Structure 1
Amino acid sequence: MAEAHNVAADEAADVVARLKRRMIDHALPLWSTVGWDGSAGGFIERLHQDGSPDRAAPRRVRVQARQIYCYAKAAQLGWYPEGREIALKGLEYLLAKAKAPDGRPGYVHQLTPEGGVLDPLRDTYDHAFVLLALATVHGLDHDAQIRAEIDALLAFLDTQLRSPHGGFQEGLPPSMPRRQNPQMHLFEAMIACFDATHDQSFQNRAGEFFALFLANLFDKQTRVLGEYFEEDWSRILPVSVEAGHQAEWVWLLKGFERITGCPTGRQRGELLASALRYRDEATGCLVDEGDAEGNIRRHSRRLWPQTEIAKAWIAQAEAGESGAADEARAALVRMERHYLSHPVAGGWYDQFDRDGKSLVATIPASSFYHVLCAVAEAEQVLG
């Protein structure tokens, strides 16, 4: 086991309840008021250090989609009933501004604060999050129009972005290197689409990404997930390893097992063991990057890998692994202690250097998806 013993038992015992209250009382209200542009529409990309909105920041479409997911998920869980209306308002903005505004299919990459097109790139990673947002909103009301948007997005992916080598291109226009990251989030979106629709075609689609993971993304010899690849999915050397993604796949593989019955325990165990090699000695938090041999390349540590290691342990707890629930709570305590204890209630620190100095002055909206998902999983599995 990892480092659950470094966290006080009383601090860990009620961490899930504390984090849930933090979401309901602070984060969800903050990002739907200060974090929403009441004049131009859309979610604010980031807040300044004092909690005021950075209205001049460009709007990434992936962040719009992530915020929609957060509010739809909070409504689905019964945490925040007004989340449904906020999610629908966000989706209306996304469809009006980002979907084919230049007459070409797909969603653009970036918008100006006023809602114009800043970057017309069709980015696959963005589309994965739009699909996740649509699936989560669809799960609320099973609206036929939302399902039609899901099907239209899938058609765009299938006709415009599929690669003959498996998986999907980075975007339109295509670029290199290929990354596992967009494939991982499409895998996540397909699982969410199945949960929202119970359409078995999404089991099959998720299975394509599982097959890609087994054949190309995961190295069975080194037991690490690679990040960067050539066009044919051959690894680019030296292999870059992000511990947060190792952990994120643990949780996703458990989700795939849940919807298909396909066993993933061996791969989950190997990924988790690999992820735990890349930790900051002082805090026990995951660092940003290592190599295939287990050495640390970048000692900085972002918030999102901490949410993912918590979710990995939660997945293992759900699978019945002894001690996993304690490890999950310990990971949540570290996340709370180091990242969420911010002077702005409902805000967070995004990244620290190896000495514990904050490297990002703003409070990025993009992290909300990671935090809320981790807390939601914790409540459902750990109670």
Structure 2
Amino acid sequence: MTDVTQSGPIGDNREIVTALRCQVIGHALTLWSREGRDLQQGGFIEKLDANGNPDTSAPRRVRVQARQIYCFAKAAQLGWYPDGAEIARKGLDYMLAKAKAPDGKPGFVHILAPDGSVLNPLRDTYDHAFVLLSLATVYQLDRDAKVRAEIDELMQFIDTQLRSPDGGYHEGVPASMPRRQNPQMHLLEAFIAAFDATHDQAFQARAGDLFGLFSSNLFDAKKGVLGEYFEQDWSRIEPVSVEPGHQAEWVWLLKGFERITGCPTGKQRAALLESALRYRDATGCLVDEGDAQGNIVKATRRCWPQTEIIKAFVAQAESGVEGAADEARAALMRLDKYYLQHPVKGGWYDQFDGEGRSLVDTIPASSFYHILCAVAEAERVLGA
């Protein structure tokens, strides 16, 4: 039976990093290693119900399999959860066995049934970004040559099948429209992680190409907004949809790009963060969508944008920006207060409406990647 007791939100932001690290280690990793794995069929569960019980009938997105592999490998790497290494490797074995080329075609399929059969054979670029991220994170554990071979094989597919002559990467195979910044963003994240894992300069070069796309097309420097949807030639589709969570996410990623290349990104980071902060509600949380003029279009607010604004402020704090560390801690407090105080220890609320009512009655596994990464980055830069 899942423990549904709760102790209440943390009251002192000086202790917030330590407290959230303890929540992740003591509750979230335990919950998802126990209830979030399918010990009969293999792989990870897509979501838990409101009481913390696994939904074993839900289809399994391959991106979520990859995200959970990342979470347990990262937790093992940090020394938070030594058992995470074995859990990550078993998850990777499942993903490779079930999702990689089950129809004889290269690449990973999009969605699996609980029994491991293919529900959707699409080769989705967003998915492949997370497959690469998971492989890079597992590879960092012990530099397994077989994992490196999987990275190289995956990159052969990405480079030959997903690359677009118009710049960046297609939405998938088959290609579709509109083009989105989101897969490009997560490929940048994966390339940075792959460089950190392998020290292969080819990943620096790929990251540089995406930084060029960001600078020339994705980000409108005059308006200070990141576009979401584009035509084939990367011209913006009007009216421009703005997701403030993605603007915050790019702040953190640009700091990572600066770290591995030495290319300064401070100006772009400052502009992105300033713009993202326009889209907040009375709680101080980021809403889900705005327009290019700074107006709120969707007053709902999901969990993941709050983790990304934490990472954005952490990146700025690491760069020595005055007040950024305090802002990061305040954002961690908001994450705890509004999203992590779930009756199930180690669970979270996914989305609220403008009145603060929960809109999702399940606990999605997909959010764990965001939460764990935000807390890990906060500990790394701000200390526990």
Query: Structure 1 317/225 Cα, relative in aligned 2: closer, same or farther at 3 Å?
Result: same
Q: Which moved more, 1:351-360 or 1:9-18?
A: 9-18
* 1:50 aligned counterpart, secondary structure: coil
Q: Which moved more, 1:347-356 or 1:158-167?
A: 158-167
2:168 matches 1:167: yes
| Structure 2 unaligned regions, length at least 5 | 1-8
1:303 match = 303
Shift of 1:378: 0.3
Q: What is the TM-score normalised by the length of structure 2? A: 0.97
2:49 match = 48
Cα deviation 1:64-120 (Å, max 9, x = unaligned): 000000000000000000010000000000000000001000000000011000000
1:377 match = 377
Counterpart amino acid of residue 347 in structure 1: G
Q: Distance in 2 between matches of 1:86 and 1:73?
A: 11
Counterpart amino acid of residue 124 in structure 1: T
2:240 matches 1:225: no
Q: Is the 8 A contact 2:10 2:336 kept in 1?
A: no
Q: Distance in 2 between matches of 1:117 and 1:360?
A: 26
2:355 match = 355
Q: Is the 8 A contact 2:112 2:120 kept in 1?
A: yes
Q: Distance in 2 between matches of 1:114 and 1:334?
A: 38
Supply the RMSD in Å over aligned alpha carbons.
Answer: 1.0
Shift of 1:220: 1.2
Q: Distance in 2 between matches of 1:180 and 1:121?
A: 19
Identity of aligned residues (%): 72
2:323 matches 1:323: yes
Counterpart amino acid of residue 328 in structure 2: A
Cα deviation 1:310-367 (Å, max 9, x = unaligned): 0000000000001100000000000000000000000000000000000001000000
Q: Is the 8 A contact 2:10 2:16 kept in 1?
A: no
Q: Distance in 2 between matches of 1:128 and 1:368?
A: 17
Alignment of 1:336-347 (within 5 A): 336-347=336-347
Cα deviation 1:28-71 (Å, max 9, x = unaligned): 01111110001101100000001000011000000000000000
2:266 matches 1:265: yes
1:5 match = none
Q: Distance in 1 between matches of 2:10 and 2:148?
A: 45
2:334 match = 334
Alignment of 1:166-185 (within 5 A): 166-185=167-186
Report runs of 4+ in structure 1 exceeding 2 Å deviation: none
* 1:14 aligned counterpart, secondary structure: helix
Counterpart amino acid of residue 148 in structure 2: R
1:30 match = 31
1:62 match = 63
2:137 match = 136
Cα deviation 1:270-318 (Å, max 9, x = unaligned): 000000000012x100000000000000000000000000000000000
Q: Distance in 1 between matches of 2:114 and 2:287?
A: 33
Q: Distance in 2 between matches of 1:11 and 1:231?
A: 49
Q: Distance in 2 between matches of 1:344 and 1:277?
A: 33
Counterpart amino acid of residue 198 in structure 1: H
Shift of 1:9: 11
Q: Distance in 1 between matches of 2:93 and 2:276?
A: 38
Counterpart amino acid of residue 326 in structure 1: D
Q: Distance in 2 between matches of 1:193 and 1:36?
A: 26
2:3 match = none
2:85 matches 1:84: yes
* 1:118 aligned counterpart, secondary structure: strand
| Structure 1 unaligned regions, length at least 5 | 1-7
